[in-house]
Amino acid sequence: MSSAPASPLSPPQPSGRAARSRFARPLVIAGLVLAVIAVAGGAASSGLGERILFAQGVELTSAGIGRQTYHGGLLPIQLRFTAAGPLDGNYAVFVQVQSPVSIPNGCSNNLDAAPSVPSSRWTRGQVIEQTLHVPVAPHCPLGRLEVRAGLYDPKRGDRLATVDPHVEDNRIFVGSAELLRMASDDGVETHSAADLLRAERASVLMPWLPWVLGFTLAAALAGAFSLRAPALSQGDGAVASSARWTWFGLSLPVVAFVLGILMVLEFVKDDAYISFRYAHNLVRGEGLVFNTGEHLEGMTNFLWVFVLAPFEAMGLDLFQVCELLGGALGIGCIVLVARTAVLLDEPRRDLSQLWGALWLASSSSFVLYAKSGLEQPLAALLPIAGAYCLYRARARALLAAPDQHTVRSYLIAGLLLGAACMTRPELHLIAMLVGIPLVVDIIGTRRVGRAELAYAAGVLAITAPCHLFRYLYYGSLVPNTFYVKTGSDSTVWGHGLNTILDMLRFNHTGVLVALAPLAFLDRRKLAEKSAFAAICASFLVYYMRVGVDEMHWHRLYIPALPFLCVLAGLGTRNLISLVAEALPQKPLVVGGLSAVAWASFVWLAFFNLRTTYEAERGFNGHGDLAGTYHPDLGKFLVRHERPGGLVAFQDMGSTPYYAPDLNFLDFFGLVDSTVAHARHDHGLHTFITGDAKAQAAYDAEMRDYFFERSPEWAILTIYTPRGQEQVVSEAFQRDPTGGSLGSAYRNNAVQFGLWDDPRFRQRYVAVRTWPRSSAYYLALWRRKDLWDQTPGEVVLATPPTRASSVQTRFAGGLELLGHDLTPEVRERHEAFITTWWRLPGAMPADLTFFVHVVGNGMQVPVDHIPGDWLYPANRWQAGQILEDRVLFQLPPEAMTPGEYTVYVGAYRRSTGERLAIEAGEQAGDNRVRVGTLRVKPLRPLVHALIPRTDVEIMRAHPERIVSSSQAVGLAK
């Protein structure tokens, strides 16, 4: 049997008998460690108090839960509280019945009820008993249901804080029930406060137990064997294979990755457009800014902006550029994970060096964010590339004195890690930890060699000038986003722990964590593997410190994921070798265990891909609609605002990118230093509910800031309150301006509480609402002093020459003078449909213009308020000429190539009755045919998926747009 040459740092390999004789020792150690953990946990639990206290002295003394329930049934829950006096508001009792978080596609049912005596009138020692019957939804999976309860103020929306024990989300675990197929009445089981406390602690600890046990056992095994068995023999079943088999085997993870990409093909995260806008402004000479003239670093991907800038300069669709670029970077990262596994161990005939690469390639988060338009694929590739380059050069240096080629490789590794640092700020940590083996070399030789200096020089050659530029240009070394996404509130760490727990469950990432310590079963490449482990652990701590990321699927851990995959793959290899050493017929055992491992990794890869497939609705590739609605919003603003106008909004993505010469006030604060610093100064985290008083003070301060800036436009985002979808939808149908959506605006805590500030509705008027889904609306408001003026861009002094005579006369004296429309358009693109009207004077406010695009067996409506939403009929004056120029955005996937006929008309929104045609052309049904629209095929890569904003085309009459003090560039 041939074997790879031993490393100079590796001791002799132990015999199989020696390995078997030591097999029991690590198991004993692991058992002792776990016993200590269990005893310590039990002691900690038994030493705590036996009362459940809420703020303001409220005590939960007992809870009764029905033992069993069934689909469509009612689960009885009985709660008993003792008051210490009146509360500062009228609180309701709430209960939440939900599936355990470990169950995918679980359910949650909520119910609340006001106590018979309002809490503002409670007296000291008063006992409050509340019984609620919670309905169980038919879609709930059978099995265990968990019940949590607490108190909250419906008016303020705040839960009464838990004091002892302190629970991050201020709800106490009060028991569980069994969900059965058939009706059953097994009575109510009552629990004392002490029982509830033990259940609460168990509910916190139990989800962690499998991962803690697995990791502890693996660490105990690795620790014992790394001390006593430095190098495991590989056996006949693991003879080193040639490199070409590794390259051939890479086709499997690459195919898995490509399948995932096809599932998310047209996913682009709206936040990616922040980088796109920085690149756009850089290319057009405005500088590395988001808003013209504001030197603010509102992105955390400095290098990514420069990567995108050349493509932006060429006029390419950055959406599609990121499809190709992200895919290529992802494949490169997969290849490097496999090559790094070979570097840290050796190639094997069973191709086990591909296990980590296969897991990475099928990871839902890695696949999704490779296509997101964000910097994640570059942030994953550069660190593993730098580590591979560095450790390959170090391996050569350990065999011979460093030569010029080796020193150059160290320098290249430093340049790669320096570039990584400028891709995301937290990658500075990886650049330092990758250097752990170099520190080992320096300590061993007691000198700093040329190679180590070359690595440091490479890192500094990139980071030093970039940081100097950032400091001189932005006045800070800390990106503005730091202040938005960090908070000093103690709840951040608790939310961070929950985030880590969710990540361990997602795609079974916890299996990787449990396998990683097994990479240390032998001592080959110990320094390199230690660096990998330090990177994985430090990113867990970093992710925990962030607390919550608004983007799903744990994208912040992606830079460390390749390192974790390498360790997990090596750990699985070592586990197979360890078991084989303890059993006879080693080659046969190794072959069988390798087959089992391959089957396990392939099954987990299939599970990961299935997760992506189900979440993204198959291979349709449409994962996010930001590229559908937000560009239309940006282009609408361009049509009706002068350059330099200010818009308040919370989504600093595609809307600003498609409104390139407007400025934005960011509700989140990503690109607004005042908002970001104020949030940070109050100790608040954007995505975590913090101290109510601090939040109220912050909101009040930011409302004053908003009215001081006095933006021309404000876009309010509505997250429909749960259960109110139908109510909000009906309100929108009655009034699509957004003015009647009322209290739904309160469901968004980011917008400074503007809706409840009387100044807002005194100073702003609702214009138009974009319904993205039943749960998400975007409502555009216009500053009232500007709205009250006649919108000159749509109300003309004289009709154009092509609209010189009456074409059609409608009831009430409304006259259609002429029309024009874009004759040809590509799929998913946009067309202008323009009509000119002579107005008879004021008409009912709910008079609505409609456009019907008919063809290929379908009709697409484009209903809108006259004058492209800017001039409702109750404002009309007799004899005015109205230019109704609307941008029709073809719905994705719906409108196929072909000929479409375009009709226009008017109707009353309150009654649905169309305005009758009294004279002139008509096509029946009181509508007028105004032309034909030809839709041509769109070929991706050849054609842009979303057309760019041409401001000269968007603004038909720029000089006539109502001006304000903030607008620049046009005569006022």
Each residue's pLDDT tens digit, 208-217? 666 666 666 6
- Tens of pLDDT, residue by residue over 464-498, are 999 999 999 999 989 998 888 776 666 677 777 87
Helix (H, G, I), strand (E, B) or coil at 98: strand
Model pLDDT, residue 192: 65
Q: What is the DSSP string of 347-405?
A: --TT-GGGHHHHHHHH-HHHHHHHSSSSSHHHHHHHHHHHHHHHHHHHHHHHHS---HH
Residue 422 predicted with pLDDT over 90 = yes
Q: What is the pLDDT of residue 4?
A: 39
Give the SS3 label for residue 582.
coil
Residue that is written with structure tokens 């150059």 in the block: 408
The rounded distance, in Å, linking the Cα atoms of 95 and 147 is 7
DSSP 784-815: HHHHTS--TTTEESS--GGG-S--EEEGGG-E
Q: Looking at 279-293, 304-318, 388-402, which range is the least confident one?
A: 388-402
The partner residues of 934 in beta bridges, in order of sequence, read: 824, 899
Phi, psi angle pair for 792, to nearest 5°? -60, -25
How many H helices and E strands in the chain?
30, 28
Burial of 801 (0-12, 13-18, 19+ CB in 10 A): exposed
Query: Do 875 and 765 meet the contact criterion of CB atoms below 8 Å apart?
Result: no
Edge-to-edge strand list for the sheet holding 663-666 = 663-666, 646-649, 713-719, 776-783, 764-773
Q: What is the DSSP letter of 13?
A: P
- Specify the higher pLDDT residue, 18 or 880: 880
DSSP-derived letter for residue 750 is: T
CA distance 582 to 473: 63
Amino acid at the residue 772: R
Token pair listed for 597? 């491992």
| Digit-coded pLDDT (tens) for 180-237 | 866 555 666 666 666 666 665 565 566 666 666 666 666 665 666 555 544 454 444 4
Q: Residue 50 above 80 pLDDT?
A: no
Instruction: Evaluate if residue 824 carries a pLDDT over 90.
Output: yes
Q: 903-953: per-residue pLDDT in tens?
A: 999 999 999 999 999 988 777 889 999 999 999 998 888 888 888 999 999
- The model's pLDDT over 323-365, given as tens digits with 9 standing for 90+, comes to 899 999 999 999 999 999 999 988 877 888 899 999 999 999 9
pLDDT, tens digit, 9 for 90 and up, residues 767-802: 999 988 788 899 999 999 999 999 999 999 888 887
For the residues of 583-629, what is the DSSP string, one character each? SSSHHHHHHHHHHHHHHHHHHHHHHHHHHHHHHTTGGG-----HHHH
State the chain's mean pLDDT as an integer.
83
Residues 639 and 868 sit within 8 Å (Cβ to Cβ): yes
Q: What is the CA radius of gyration of the chain?
A: 32
Residue type, 240: A
Whether residue 36 has pLDDT greater than 60: no
Report the C-alpha gap between 262 and 474 in whole angstroms.
Answer: 39
* Percentage of the chain lying above the pLDDT 90 cut: 43
Q: Could you tell me whether strands 776-783 and 713-719 are parallel, antiparallel, or unpaired per DSSP bridges? A: antiparallel
Neighbours of 852 (CB within 10 A): 19
Closest to 425 measured CA to CA, from 366, 485, 372, 473: 485
The yes-or-no verdict on residue 811 having pLDDT over 50 is yes
Q: Which residue has the higher pLDDT, 589 or 67?
A: 67
Quick one: CA dihedral 418, 422, 424, 426, positive or negative? Answer: positive
For tokens 């202040």, name the residue.
483
Give the pLDDT of residue 42: 43
> For a pLDDT cut of 70, what percent of the chain falls above it?
84
DSSP 8-class letter at 919: E
Contact 211, 510 (CB under 8 A): yes
Determine the 3-state secondary structure of 292 from DSSP.
Answer: coil
For 713, the enclosing helix (H) or strand (E) is strand 713-719
pLDDT of residue 423 exceeding 50: yes
Residues 420, 403 contacting (CB under 8 angstroms): no
Q: From edge to edge, which strands make up the β-sheet containing 830-838?
A: 795-796, 881-889, 830-838, 815-821, 808-810, 917-920
Q: Which residues of 931-958 are buried (b: 16+ CB within 10 A; e: fewer)?
A: eebebeebeeeebbbbbbbebeebbbeb
- For residue 24, what are its two tokens? 């029991």
In this structure, the dihedral spanned by the alpha carbons of residues 612, 617, 619 and 623, taken in order and rounded to 10 degrees, is: -80
| Residue 436 vs residue 100, higher pLDDT | 436
Rounded to whole angstroms, the Cα distance separating 365 from 353 reads 22
Count CA atoms within 13 Å of residue 659 on its CB side. Answer: 31
Amino acid identity at 454: A
Q: How many CB atoms lie within 10 A of CB 782?
A: 24
Q: Do the beta carbons of residue 525 and residue 340 sit within 8 Å?
A: no
**What pLDDT is attached to residue 432?**
95
Tokens, residue 577: 């070798």
DSSP code of residue 518: G
Helix (H) or strand (E) holding 32: helix 24-46
SS3 633: helix
What is the tens place of the pLDDT at every residue in 507-539?
A: 889 889 889 988 888 878 889 999 999 999 999
Measure CA 394 to chain center: 38
Give the span between the Cα atoms of 673 and 296, in whole angstroms. 7
Inter-residue contact 517 to 497 (CB < 8 Å): no
Structure tokens of 495? 């939310």
Q: Encoding tokens for residue 753?
A: 């509480």
Q: How far, in Å, CA of 426 to CA of 549, rounded?
A: 15
- SS3 state of residue 127: strand
What would the mean pLDDT of 417-429 be, rounded to a whole number?
95
Q: Closest by alpha carbon to 515, among 232, 253, 221, 240?
A: 221
pLDDT at 883: 95
What is the number of other CB atoms lying within 10 angstroms of the CB of residue 23?
16
Report the distance separating Cα 547 and Cα 499, nearest Å. 7
Q: Which residues pair with 192 in a beta bridge?
A: 62
CB proximity list for 657: less than 8 A, separation 6 or greater: 273, 276, 277, 280, 631, 634
- Residue 782 near residue 763 (C-beta atoms within 8 A): no
